[in-house]
Copies of this chain bind each other. A is one copy, B any other.
């Protein structure tokens, strides 16, 4: 399939690599407003050509959007307007309610698939892209009943080439759950970074005292504000709820700390230890897939 990728960063670039590798994309067109990124994506061969949006979409069998979620709505409606009757359009943004609502009434809604392939690193731009970013991860498709059978078939081809497992979810449920499981951990990490930088004016102290635990917890604070600010805005209601719950837990902990109520602190931490089981499940999921591959 002649494929257009809109947005040649970590996500778009990694999709391009694996769609070419998997034989799904026979020719790859890129749309990228950042000129330096466009040049770099061509130089490292992520796409064969960088074209203006209109030109790229008109000649494509498949269009995938991988841009910050605040731009998706506008771009998406434009892409659907331009799309031929056989062109399939897939969006990969991290929030889904507003996007699903925006396209609901569009005449070509059936040619569209609302997806969220859950993967990423704290790096961004074309140079951050790599083959295997999505391997063994979960892809969410929202409102599959609004997509045509052909559109779902093409999406299956795409996400199989990325080696993902696809599940379905209501867009509102999706946004609510990712607020807790993904967006909250990013906010907690960003602000942990901020707090520590605020206090430790002398960065040498952080450098000297940081163990691997600190590095791991604060890793997401390196993430791209350009990508995350729009996600947080679009998911403001649920993320705000999640943040308030998190703050409440922190305040309770601080209260018991000031009371020197070690028993209660111990109980809270023991309860949090249950996350071990969940994390082991995640690791197991990865390992099982790797074993099958061998």
Contacts and interface: CB of A to CB of B under 8 A. Distances in A.
B182 A209 contact: yes
21 contacts: A138-B208, A140-B208, A180-B199, A181-B205, A182-B213, A184-B195, A185-B213, A185-B214, A190-B272, A193-B274, A194-B249, A196-B275, A199-B242, A210-B278, A215-B279, A216-B217, A222-B279, A230-B262, A233-B260, A233-B262, A240-B257
Given A216-B220, A229-B269, A279-B215, A274 B185 contact: no
Question: How big is chain A's contact interface, by range?
Answer: 35 or more
B211 A119 contact: yes
Interface in A179-234: 180-182, 184-200, 203, 205-223, 225-226, 228-230, 232-233
A130 interface: no
A71 interface: no
Contacts of A187: 250, 253
Identical chains in the assembly: 2
Given A182-B214, A191-B249, A217-B220, A257 B236 contact: yes
Contact of A246 (B167, B195, B200, B215): B195
- By Cβ-Cβ distance, the 7 closest A-B pairs, closest first, are A225-B269, A193-B275, A193-B272, A185-B217, A181-B209, A229-B266, A191-B249
A177 B189 CA distance: 18
A70 to B, nearest CB: 8
B192 A278 contact: no
Contact of A195 (B222, B232, B242, B266): B242
A59 B265 CA distance: 38
